[in-house]
Amino acid sequence: MRRLLRALASAAALAALLSACGGGGNPDTITYRDAEDRSLFELPNDWHLYRADELVQVAPVPFLPDTGGNIVSFVAFDGAAGRNLGNVALDAAASEFPVGAQIIRRISDTERNDISNRSMALSAYNAYTAGLGVEMLNLVDDPSFDRNYDGIRGYLGVTLQDGSLEGVIYVRAVHNPDMTELYSMAAGCSLDCFTRERDVIEEAVNSWVVNTRR
């Protein structure tokens, strides 16, 4: 995983643009735009972004499932009181503040044959590394993408071994028409945190825009 993130540091993360919203933008948010103009999203301006070159120091990151080195671009973020790389290493069930990530990955030939709503949702978070379970909650097709980009949105419930719900993740994911690239955006935290921060989390994830005109 560390080798994967080092490779990202010299590619997508190198030219990543992070800037305050300008012009008619909202002064209470910050905007992240992918270096190759593939996507963008907005976060509250008191949240923190972590680029791939920084994330080398904290692998593994639950919001970066290891899919064999097919990652094109990756950025993580959190809504903690202070900026700390260790925040993004927390699993959602243990985090008392929002944590999340945007990932752009290539879809391998093997994965292409097994693409489903479930696999797209799980591309955004790996609960299994922490010995946790995942259940799909209200996972539906997302009609907001166009040009034959098939997407989903919904919730992942993060469960302990006894099946009890300990965390919730809101996720959106979409693949391009020829099924060569998969985009995902997700954020979540412990059940108590998600109950408290749900509106802010959903607003951040729903601000995500994928450039379907590339």
Residues 6+ apart with CB under 8 A from 199: none
Output the average pLDDT for the chain.
82
CA 36 to chain centre: 17
pLDDT of residue 199: 97
Taking alpha carbons only, the member of 91, 35, 42, 96 closest to residue 63 is 91
- Count Cβ atoms within 10 A of the Cβ of residue 24 and give its class: 0-12 exposed, 13-18 middle, 19 or more buried: exposed
pLDDT of residue 67: 57
Task: Give the CA distances from residue 153 to residues 1, 50, 139, 162, 202, in Å, rounded to whole numbers and listed in that order.
Answer: 27, 24, 6, 26, 11
- What is the mean predicted confidence (pLDDT) over 49-69? 78
* Cα dihedral 64, 69, 74, 79 in deg (nearest 10): 20
Give the pairing type, strands 71-78 and 99-106: antiparallel
pLDDT of residue 143: 80
pLDDT digits (tens, 9 = 90+) for 85-110: 999 988 888 899 999 999 999 988 88
Listed range (50-64, 120-134, 180-194) with the worst mean pLDDT: 120-134
Q: Buried b / exposed e across 47-61, counting CB within 10 Å, b at 16+?
A: bbbbbbebbbebbbb
Instruction: Residue count of the chain, please give it.
Output: 214
pLDDT of residue 4: 39
pLDDT of residue 192: 96
Residue 179 DSSP symbol: S
